[in-house]
Amino acid sequence: MHTHKVLYADSSFDDLSDFERSLTSVDAIVVHGNCKTPEDVIGSGSDAVCIITELIPLNEMVFQKCPSLKLVYTNNVGTDLIDIPAATRHGILVCNNPDYNFREVAEHTVALLLSLIRKIPKANGYVRSGGYDYNYLSPLKRFEGSSVGLLGFGRIAQSVAKKLAGFDVRVLFYDPYVKETHIGQAKKTSLEMLLQNSDYLCIHAPLTEKTHHLINAETLNLMKPGAAIVNAARGELIDTLALMDALKSGRLSAAALDVIEDHASLGPEHPLCGMDNVILTPHSAWLSKDAFKQCKADLTNEIVRFFNNQPLKALLNPEALE
């Protein structure tokens, strides 16, 4: 008889049979909650030892009403879904899945950046509509010699920096948690200097209370006139209204967004969708069949380590062990 209940609150995987079999070997059973809200999580997981989430926030209320809970796992790189201080107060361990898609997000960031610089989507639409005059794309700027700013310098941003090494561009970064002043070709600077000196700003910061709307009217006004922004991190890092104002006024030349706050509002009537200097993708930067495979493997291995009382590789609050 299984003694440990694992609630997968909102799985997006079609097949988790390997995961389920692996947990059987550590005396655990997986229950799929098909949850939509934290209240659904409580209803399905009040007796769970472990809860896994992809899109549902886990907060103080969940932790209070799930007394058996020992581990929460967000099957994402970002950790903004979990109230980590609250989990720590309740002695609940928190893990994320940090490694499975950083290569894809870095590749997507560079792809967005180059597409933006060379106006690839605009060119594609123009030719498909019957046009064939290259002057339609003028003016274009040479990428070589530009300055690329990386806001946040974790695993993804460092991979972006490596991929930019062959383009003969200057790479700057700002990250208050990184002590080194130089990593590879990238040079650390202040946030203000990053904004003032970047021709292209790529956003890779985590979403926290401090970084919510970090890119706003004030910070946009610090940027180089005609600069461009790429965001493949979290939509809420950018104040969308301020971004649209900067694009309309010409303060920014372009933006490429894999994420946007209130993405449900996107559609033919949304102002961003009517701007030909904006590239939009549907939060797909992380996506590849290889990432899916690794995501499941990393999830499985971490949960098995937990039930085997082995050290966790992606533990975010080791103080909860004390």
Query: Burial level of 105, CB count in 10 A (0-12/13-18/19+)?
Result: buried
Query: Burial level of 282, CB count in 10 A (0-12/13-18/19+)?
Result: exposed
Residues 163, 261, single domain; the answer is: yes
Residues 87, 192, single domain; the answer is: no
Residues 204, 112, single domain; the answer is: yes
In a 13 Å sphere around the CA of 21, the CA atoms on its Cβ side amount to: 5
Residues 157, 247, single domain; the answer is: yes
Residues 106, 243, single domain; the answer is: yes
Residues 119, 238, single domain; the answer is: yes
Residues 94, 106, single domain; the answer is: no
Task: Give residue for tokens 């070709």.
Answer: 185
Neighbours of 320 (CB within 10 A): 18
Q: What is the 8-class DSSP label of residue 224?
A: P
Residues 276, 297, single domain; the answer is: no
H-run or E-run covering 39: helix 38-45
Residues 92, 106, single domain; the answer is: no
How many domains does one find in the chain?
A: 2
What pLDDT shows up at residue 2?
A: 58
Check if the beta carbon of residue 240 is closer than 8 Å to that of residue 262.
Answer: yes
Which of 125, 68, 103, 54 lies closest to 277, judged by CA?
A: 125
Helices and strands counted in the chain (H then E): 11, 13
Residues 86, 156, single domain; the answer is: no
Parent domain of 34: 4-100+289-321
Mapped onto helix, strand or coil, the DSSP state of residue 71 is strand
Residues 91, 131, single domain; the answer is: no
Structure tokens at 293: 């495979």
What pLDDT shows up at residue 139?
A: 94
Task: Compute CA distances 106 → 133, 178, 269, 315, whole Å.
Answer: 32, 19, 30, 23
What pLDDT shows up at residue 61?
A: 97
- Domain containing residue 127: CATH number: 3.40.50.720
Regions of the chain where pLDDT drops below 70: 1-2
Residues 56, 174, single domain; the answer is: no
pLDDT digits (tens, 9 = 90+) for 132-177: 999 999 999 999 999 999 999 999 999 999 999 999 999 999 999 9
